[in-house]
């Protein structure tokens, strides 16, 4: 699936590298250029991120991209007991940044 909106790859790459994010994807369900960005992230192994850390990252990325960004984690989605939720999230994810 092709991303419906463009986000600057250099801004995203810099953000991900500074926050030890291994993978960042844009969730496409219901996204348009006027709406918030819904993102899903996976951190490098061993990185511990709390809710306050995630909230700070959302605010930082929102300011950098000049639109509201909301972030879920792959780990949080995987822990969900709702298989339809998991499937909907994973199926709509379009990778914007990834390093091995």
With respect to residue 89, please indicate whether it lies within any of the assigned structural domains. Answer: yes
Write down the pTM of the prediction: 0.85
Query: Domain for residue 32, yes or no?
Result: yes
The answer to whether 47 and 66 have CB atoms below 8 angstroms apart is: no
Q: Is residue 22 part of a domain?
A: yes
The CA-atom distances, in angstroms, between 94 and each of 11, 28, 47, 81 are: 17, 7, 23, 23
Instruction: Decide if 52 is inside a domain.
Output: yes
Total domains in the chain come to 1
Instruction: Say which residue, 91 or 3, is predicted with more confidence.
Output: 91
Ranking 12-16, 86-90, 92-96 by mean pLDDT, the lowest is: 86-90
CATH number at residue 38: 3.30.460.10
Residues 6+ apart with CB under 8 A from 71: 39, 40, 41, 54, 57, 58, 61
Structure tokens at 38: 């819904």
CA distances (Å), origin 69, targets 33, 41, 79: 12, 12, 22
Q: Is residue 3 domain-resident? A: no
Enclosing domain of residue 40: 9-98
Cβ atoms of 31 and 17 closer than 8 Å: no
**Helix (H/G/I), strand (E/B), else coil: 100:** coil
Confirm whether 80 is domain-assigned.
yes
- pLDDT tens for residues 22-76? 999 998 765 545 568 899 999 999 999 999 999 999 999 999 999 899 999 999 8
94 within domain boundaries: yes
Task: Write out pLDDT tens, residues 2-31.
Answer: 445 678 899 999 999 999 999 999 987 655
């Amino acid at each position: 699936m092709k991303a419906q909106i463009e986000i600057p790859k250099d801004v995203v790459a810099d953000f991900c590298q500074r926050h030890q994010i291994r993978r960042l994807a844009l969730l496409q369900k219901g996204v348009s250029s006027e709406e918030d960005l819904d993102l899903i992230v996976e951190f490098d192994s061993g990185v511990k991120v709390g809710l306050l850390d995630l909230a700070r990252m959302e605010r930082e990325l929102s300011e950098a991209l000049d639109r509201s960004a909301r972030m879920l984690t792959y780990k949080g989605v995987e822990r969900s007991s709702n298989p339809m939720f998991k499937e909907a999230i994973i199926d709509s994810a379009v990778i914007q940044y990834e390093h091995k």
